[in-house]
Amino acid sequence: MQPVILLVRPQLVENIGTTARAMLNCGLEQLRLVAPRDPWPLDNTHQARMLAAASGADAVLEQASVFPSLAEAIGDLHTLYAATARPRDMLKPVLTPRLAMVEVRQRLAAGEKIGFLFGPERTGLTNDDLSVVEKIITIPANPAFSSFNLAQAVLVLAYEWCSQQQEAHPETLAYGKTRPATKAELQHFFDHLERELEAHGFFTTPELKPSMVQNLRNALLRGQWSEQEVRTWHGVVTALARNAR
């Protein structure tokens, strides 16, 4: 089972299309539209604009249901979450998208049907809309610029849906007294190495040179060299390039 995405009074068919794309990118396919501004079914012009924005997510749009009111759209659902940046003067639990999705997975596993509400582009959800939801999801955002595009807000929820909970154990590399090499330092070394390889007839087949160069660079990049190591390897290349005694 999946959560249902409900767009409440969406104004722009383009945003309905980009929402469908974002949903399908993350494997969500259940879309409900509540009183969209443009009358449904859409005329050919609006339909074309919506499909262009969907970039191939047509299946989501074809299966979408349209309801005249929010009450009619939610009757079969058990728990509702509203995505809104603005905390209202309402006593509702507020969750991050991440925490909400952990909870939603538990609820779905227990057999509940879940809905996520998103408001109109310009005005957002009203207090009356919010009075039907159990909880509010607020996307962590820049307080000075917190208004998300409608499809972008849907994507954050959809991304949390498809993103598995992962243990975070990144490798570390102790550079000690040195520091990671900069790209300019590495490029200087690559130039040195490839110039000497060219001079020594390493690239026997000219048309294979670009992919050989890529493979050489990939092998060295994986080493995450320090500035000290780059200097050492300049010395290595210089030494190897000298005529043997």
Question: Are β-strands 4-8 and 31-34 bridged in parallel, bridged antiparallel, or unpaired?
Answer: parallel
107 with 78: CB under 8 angstroms?
yes
Helix, strand and coil percent figures for the chain, each rounded to 5: 45, 10, 40
CB of residue 108 to its own copies, shortest distance in Å: 12
Question: Are β-strands 135-137 and 65-67 bridged in parallel, bridged antiparallel, or unpaired?
Answer: unpaired
CB of residue 237 to its own copies, shortest distance in Å: 19
The Cα 171–Cα 51 span in angstroms is 43
CB of residue 172 to its own copies, shortest distance in Å: 7
> Between residue 31 and residue 50, which ones bind its own copies under the rule CB under 8 A?
none
Q: Is residue 179 near its own copies by the rule CB under 8 A? A: yes
**Which range in 4-12, 18-26, 40-48, 232-240 contacts its own copies by CB under 8 A?**
18-26
CB of residue 200 to its own copies, shortest distance in Å: 22
Q: Is residue 222 near its own copies by the rule CB under 8 A? A: yes
> Between residue 102 and residue 161, which ones bind its own copies under the rule CB under 8 A?
102-103, 106, 110-112, 127-128, 131-134, 139-142, 145-149, 151-152, 155-156, 159
At residue 72, what are phi and psi to the nearest 5 degrees?
-70, -25
With H, G, I as helix, E, B as strand and everything else as coil, classify residue 34.
strand
Instruction: Report the first-to-last Cα separation within the chain, whole angstroms.
Output: 73
Q: Is residue 182 near its own copies by the rule CB under 8 A? A: yes
> Between residue 198 and residue 217, which ones bind its own copies under the rule CB under 8 A?
210-211, 213-214, 217
From candidates 44, 172, 204, 243, binder to its own copies by CB under 8 A: 172
Between 218 and 243, name the residue whose CB sits nearer to its own copies: 218
> Between residue 62 and residue 91, which ones bind its own copies under the rule CB under 8 A?
71, 74-80, 90-91
Question: Are β-strands 79-83 and 4-8 bridged in parallel, bridged antiparallel, or unpaired?
Answer: unpaired
The secondary element (H helix, E strand) that includes residue 132 is: none
